[in-house]
Amino acid sequence: MSSVPLKRFFKELPVWIVEDHHDVVCHIYRAIASRHLPLRNIKMVHLDSHPDLLIPVNMSADTVFDKDKLFSELSIENWIMPMVYAGHVSCVAWLHPYWAQQIREGEHRMTVGRDSSTTTIRVTSKDHYFLSDGLYVPERQLENSKPFRLNVVKVNPVKASHQSFTEENTERWFAKRARTLCSESGEASCSKPLPRITDTLQPAEGSNSNHTAREEEQSSNGTSPRENSDEDEEGSTGYVVKRIFSFLSETEPYVLDIDLDFFSCKNPFKELYTQEEYGILQELYSFRGPGPDADEEELDECVDRRIRQLEDLEAAFADLLEDDGEESVTRWASNPGMASLAQLVSSLKSRNPSPDYEMVHQAGLTCDSVELPHHISTDEEIDRLITAVQLFLKHLPKPTLVTMSRSSLDEYCPAEQVDSVQSRVLALLESMYGSLDIQKDYENTSTETQDCQPQAS
């Protein structure tokens, strides 16, 4: 007799809606505790304009085993990886709109573990997203390591006039796939769920950014960036479904996670600072990555250099909170790479005699090799993205749990659009899955968060 516990189902699909994205973690943990989600190897389909795959830089790895302490340490940009290190999450598909380009498109396999020298959580990925935060270490330096599989998958908005064609094309892909499997495995296999697709779909080097400028231009002209019709074309419905089924089977429980800034997204720091100030921040915090064929020594030097750069900048702005007089500013500006600090402070003080230097540093942390995404969508663009989501979700199994983040108080999702986007997404989910158990956790948020400032994402 099998000792594996029976899979449990919620009577109605729970949809937990939070304001700050990291607040979904407690709801995922509750679903684990109630055995609706497995303790290990949870799969997640994560729709967001931001990867949220950073790590609390100085947090002890063992914090993940004290959930109350863990919840207090998490932030919007770093809530997924601690669950990976804890062994709960093993695969994430980051589904991103075309304007979000923080991580290279394709499949990334890496190891997440405890750095033996610092006891913090670190990763083996050499992608600039991790290198620029000083999170890379070689695998031999990790303890209690866990394998992690990340699929970065672009989702293009569907042009309304081509929706039926897209739907037909995706159906054709599934029919063709099923016929191929039947002919290869015999008639009996046709009654079984669609198995995983094991192909790794890697685009040509640099393909994640080749179309960005053109797509932005087309979008501003009201035309669709690369029609969502070809099953093999990056961003199309068939492409998205194929990539998700490369790691998710028809019978596996999974979390569908949606940040509403997937549909319309702001970089709130651009409204806090002038163009000149933002340009200086980009210069101060710019990341110089390793060469394309870097060996371990060069990678270690790159990470050490980046960590020193960020620590120096953090120390500088912490000192300026106490004393931003001319002598203090001049002393810090004399450090290598900080010459433009004096110009930045002068500009900030011309608008506010007491600048919030902690917030300035948070803004700077978002300025490395790739700028934070900023694309405020029109209502028509939002509808086309919602249609694209509907088209690929109809081919996926029903999720075990839906988590949703509004991201509106820190303005990553425009406050004037968030309620409308939320209503439309909930209507989509109800049309797909029937009656929902909607829990608006954000309505219980303390009033003190109403004055919330943007955090680095």
Q: How do the pLDDT tens digits run along the chain, 457 residues long? A: 444 455 678 899 999 999 999 999 999 999 999 999 999 999 999 999 999 999 999 999 999 999 999 999 999 999 999 999 999 999 999 999 999 999 999 999 999 999 999 999 999 999 999 999 999 999 999 999 999 999 999 999 997 665 443 344 445 544 554 444 344 444 333 333 333 332 333 333 333 334 444 444 444 444 444 444 466 799 999 999 999 999 999 889 999 999 999 999 999 999 999 999 999 999 999 999 998 889 999 999 999 999 999 999 999 999 999 999 999 999 999 999 999 999 999 999 999 999 999 999 999 999 887 889 999 999 999 999 999 999 999 999 999 999 999 999 999 999 999 999 999 999 999 999 999 999 999 998 643 333 444 455 5
Phi, psi for residue 86 in degrees, rounded to 5: -70, -10
Q: Are 61 and 87 in contact (CB under 8 A)?
A: no
- CA-closest candidate to residue 77, choices 46, 99, 95, 56: 56
pTM of the model: 0.82
Q: What do you get for the CA distance between the two ends of the chain, in Å? A: 48
3-class DSSP assignment, residue 152: strand
**150: β partners:** 92, 108
User: Token pair of 173, please?
Assistant: 């892909």
- In 3D, which of 160, 154, 155, 153 has the Cα closest to residue 222? 160
Angle at 251 between CA 405 and CA 31, to 5 degrees: 40
pLDDT score, position 159: 79
Q: How far apart are CA 456 and CA 451, in angstroms?
A: 16
Pairing verdict, β 106-115 and 142-155: antiparallel
Report the side by side order of strands in the sheet with 401-405: 121-123, 106-115, 142-155, 89-97, 42-47, 254-259, 401-405, 13-18, 436-440
The per-residue DSSP string of 165-191 comes to HHHHHHHHHHHHHHHHHHHHH-GGGGG
